[in-house]
């Protein structure tokens, strides 16, 4: 269907165009300059269409971030041991978090509070964690992890520590920092208990 000389887009095609427009606006103007009007204009749609799916600019920015992270096709291969796989995953996570992404999170903070949301909810919206779950599942299958010790808080600890460092320093983690998280904190918490205990 054509509207005013344009093909009317629907579904995933329209959503992709909108989220690409959001990311372009964020890249050019930052979160402070993100408006529904500008996104609608750039995407060739209306504010009404945007508001049907995303009630606020925070929701729009979150959806754009989720799409960006979902398009990351990095696969953590089976390297035969949890330590090497986890170090590789944390290195990738640290390296892909640009200073622009981190600034965006900070800029969204006021709106998140106003909407009674949080960084934790934002994180859950944008990061599926499939690669991390695959790494942990392989470690359990190999007998490297005692699954009974892998509580939700302990399971999220390596990723949370990387995020904390990134948010505090705005710089990628050093190899020493990654090894400290893996060798000094996480592995002792989830390793198999001694058979002599």
Per-residue pLDDT reduced to its tens digit, 118-128? 666 666 655 54
Provide the H-helix boundaries in the chain.
11-29, 36-43, 47-53, 57-70, 82-96, 99-114, 119-126, 130-142, 152-169, 175-179, 187-190
10 Å CB burial of residue 7 (0-12, 13-18, 19+) is exposed
Residue 108 belongs to some domain of the structure:
yes
Residue 169 belongs to some domain of the structure:
yes
Mean pLDDT of 37-61: 92
Q: What is the CATH number of the domain that holds 170?
A: 1.10.357
Task: Identify the domain containing residue 10 by its residue range.
Answer: 2-68
Residue 115 has what pLDDT?
79
**Judgement on whether residues 20 and 58 belong to the same structural domain of the protein:** yes
- pLDDT, one tens digit per residue, over 78-126 is 999 999 999 999 998 888 776 667 778 778 888 877 877 766 666 665 5
Q: What does the block give as tokens for 192?
A: 């198999």
**Judgement on whether residues 130 and 38 belong to the same structural domain of the protein:** no
CA distances from residue 79 to 88, 125, 185 in whole angstroms, order as listed: 10, 29, 21
**Judgement on whether residues 159 and 93 belong to the same structural domain of the protein:** yes
**Judgement on whether residues 128 and 44 belong to the same structural domain of the protein:** no
Indicate the residue among 68, 102, 121 that finishes a domain: 68
**Judgement on whether residues 54 and 85 belong to the same structural domain of the protein:** no
**Judgement on whether residues 55 and 131 belong to the same structural domain of the protein:** no
10 Å CB burial of residue 178 (0-12, 13-18, 19+) is buried
Residue 168 has what pLDDT?
85
For the chain, how many structural domains are there in total?
A: 2
Distance CA 34, CA 27 (A): 10
Asked if residue 36 lies in contact with residue 53, where contact means CB atoms within 8 angstroms, the answer is no
**Judgement on whether residues 28 and 55 belong to the same structural domain of the protein:** yes
Indicate the residue among 36, 68, 100 that finishes a domain: 68
**Judgement on whether residues 64 and 99 belong to the same structural domain of the protein:** no
Q: What is the CATH number of the domain that holds 54?
A: 1.10.10.60
**Judgement on whether residues 60 and 118 belong to the same structural domain of the protein:** no
pLDDT above 70 coverage of the chain, percent = 82
Indicate the residue among 42, 68, 94 that finishes a domain: 68
């Amino acid at each position: 269907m054509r509207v005013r000389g344009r093909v009317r887009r629907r579904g995933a095609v329209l959503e992709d165009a909108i989220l690409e427009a959001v990311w372009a606006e964020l890249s050019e103007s930052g979160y402070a300059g993100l408006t529904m009007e500008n996104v609608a204009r750039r995407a060739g749609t209306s504010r009404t269409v945007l508001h049907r799916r995303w009630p606020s600019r925070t929701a729009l920015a979150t959806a754009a971030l989720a799409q960006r992270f979902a398009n990351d096709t990095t696969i953590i291969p089976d390297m035969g041991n949890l330590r090497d796989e986890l170090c590789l995953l944390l290195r990738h996570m640290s390296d892909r978090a640009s200073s622009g992404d981190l600034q965006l999170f900070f800029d969204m903070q006021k709106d998140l509070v106003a909407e009674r949301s949080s960084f934790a909810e934002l994180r859950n919206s944008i990061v599926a964690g499939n690669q991390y779950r695959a790494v942990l599942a392989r470690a359990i299958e190999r007998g490297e992890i005692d699954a009974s010790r892998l509580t939700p808080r302990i399971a999220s600890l390596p990723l949370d520590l990387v995020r904390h460092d990134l948010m505090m320093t705005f710089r990628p983690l050093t190899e020493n920092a990654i090894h400290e998280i893996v060798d000094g904190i996480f592995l002792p918490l989830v390793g198999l208990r001694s058979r002599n205990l």
